[in-house]
Amino acid sequence: MLRIDRRLLENVDWLLLVTAFGLVVISTVTLASLHVGRAGGSVVVRQLVWFALGLVVMVFLASLDTRRLVRAAPAFYLLGLVGLASVFLLGRTVSGARRWVVWGPLSLQPSELFKICFLLMMVWALTSRWAQPVGKLSLAMMLPIVAVPVVLIIKQPDLGTALLLVPVMVILLIGAGVRLKLLGGLALVALSALPLAWFALKEYQRERILVFLDPFRDPLGSAYNVIQAKIAIGSGQLLGKGVTGATQSRLAFLPERHTDFIFAVFAEMWGFVGCLVLLLCYVLLLLRGFDIAATAREPVGRLVALGATSLLAAQVLINVGMVTGLLPVVGIPLPLMSYGGSSMVASFMTLGLLLSVRMRQFQ
């Protein structure tokens, strides 16, 4: 399986890799600085172990031909659905949500890995002969592909991941050439379904949306995270407070500071300038991804690359958006930065897909 053509190796996208590794280094330093002068270094060690595992998975995916991968997509997709369903049977509940499957010392978050399966499945459906030309009928047939996992994920409940699938789907549809008029119609249908969705949400999720609309609705409860994160980011000012001065992060005012709110930690320590550098890294990474999609010479590779890039982009935008108070808090990790094994591996899987497309684009 791991037969890698020399010609393929010549086309490895080193810029993409260097940017990604740079982000992992920033993540490690930030996690480590949360623990300077106290116990807890194991977080960094574990993160690095996951990084190593991510690298292996990335190389493996890069060695496969994307088109063959997409041909097998329905199988992956079903496997992913089983994984999602297994959460309800084997899942462990962490702060009210069953998102993790515990297996020995490992706890996996199937929804993180499912994102990749979903992406491949969408590409498979959009490029299948039966779906051509992509119109109303084929869209209707694709509906269950989106609906089934979204319902499963919302049930966990993991609103963030479910919401994430929507922009990825929309971007893939645009990339596949669906007419804007049709997309507009879809959007209208979706909007009219929103009131229904409201009732399907859990109490705390509704509260989060309400608090987003009016942060001071509940300054001591739900908005606590947002307010503390804003204080952390804002107090970083232009140049940041440095590692030791970052009282917000280091004194545990900031909740979930290893995972979803790590951006606020970074922002407090390194200020506006640091944030610019960090966001620039992400933009560089994403532009590289879009370039791979744009220069792909066949539609399957193009859509895979587009989907993979938009998956990363959506996560970064939503995460930073929610931490800075632009979007409601939905619980999406910052790819390559947040502490967490499943997220790290999933991010490297998308990178693997991108590499694979790039390496084969000059064949």
Partner 1 sequence: MSVTRGSLPRRDAGHRRVMVIATSVVFAFLVLVGQLWYLQVLEGGRFLDASDKNRIRVRPIAAPRGILFDRHGMPLVDNRPAFTLSFIPRELPREDETRDAVLGRVASLLHIPYQDLTDAVARVPSDSLLPVRVRRGLTLAEVAKIEEWKLELPGVITEVEPQRVYPTSRFAAHLLGYVREANDEQLKQGRYRRGEMVGQSGLERLLDEYLRGQDGGERIEVDAMGRPVRRVQATEPHAGAQVITTVDRGIQEAAERAMEGLAGAVVVMDPRNGDVLAMVSTPAFEIDRFTGTIDRDAWLRVVQDPNFPLLNRTIQTQYAPGSVFKIIVAAAGLQERSLTPLDRTYCNGEFRLGTATFKDWKEGGHGTVDLHHAIAQSCNIFFYEAGLKVGGATIVKYASTFGFGQPTAIDLPGEKSGLLPRPQVTRGRQGRTAGYPPGETVNMSIGQGTVLVTPMQVARFMAAVANGGVLWRPRLVQRVERPERLVWSDQGQVAGHAELSPVVWAFLRQSLWAVVNDNGTGAAARIPGLDIAGKTGTAQTIAKSKAEKGQDHAWFAAFAPAKAPEVVIVVLVERGGKGGQVAAPIARKILNAIFFEKIAAVEIAG
Q: 138 or 259, CB closer to partner 1?
A: 138
Q: 109 or 338, CB closer to partner 1?
A: 338
Query: Which residue in 338, 350, 337, 258 sits closest to 24, CA to CA?
Result: 337
- 357's tokens: 């497309």
Q: 86 or 244, CB closer to partner 1?
A: 244
| CB 189, min distance to partner 1, A | 22
Residue 107: strand, helix, or coil: strand
Q: 50 or 282, CB closer to partner 1?
A: 282
CA distances from 362 to 232, 296, 319 (A): 47, 9, 35
| CB 66, min distance to partner 1, A | 12
At which residue do the structure tokens 């702060």 appear? 95
Q: 215 or 299, CB closer to partner 1?
A: 299
Q: 232 or 344, CB closer to partner 1?
A: 232
Plot region of 179 (φ>0 → left; ψ -120 to 50 → alpha; else → beta): beta
| CB 62, min distance to partner 1, A | 21
Residue 146 CA to residue 121 CA, distance in Å, equals 10
| CB 299, min distance to partner 1, A | 5
| CB 345, min distance to partner 1, A | 23
CA 199 to chain centre: 26
| CB 236, min distance to partner 1, A | 6
Q: 201 or 235, CB closer to partner 1?
A: 235
> What's the alpha-carbon Rg for the chain, to the nearest Å?
20
Residue 314 CA to residue 335 CA, distance in Å, equals 10
Residue 259 CA to residue 280 CA, distance in Å, equals 21
Cβ-Cβ contacts under 8 Å for 83 (sequence gap 6 or more): 101, 110, 113, 114
Q: 116 or 267, CB closer to partner 1?
A: 267
| CB 86, min distance to partner 1, A | 32
Residue 311 CA to residue 83 CA, distance in Å, equals 20
| CB 251, min distance to partner 1, A | 6
Which spans of this chain sit near partner 1 (rule: CB under 8 A)?
37-38, 67, 126-127, 132-134, 171, 174-177, 220-221, 224, 228, 230-238, 247-248, 250-253, 267, 271-272, 275-276, 279, 282-283, 286-287, 290, 293-300, 302, 306, 310, 313, 317, 320-321, 324-326
CA distances from 277 to 22, 80, 270 (A): 11, 35, 10
Query: Which residue in 226, 359, 244 sits closest to 304, CA to CA?
Result: 359
Cβ-Cβ contacts under 8 Å for 55 (sequence gap 6 or more): 348
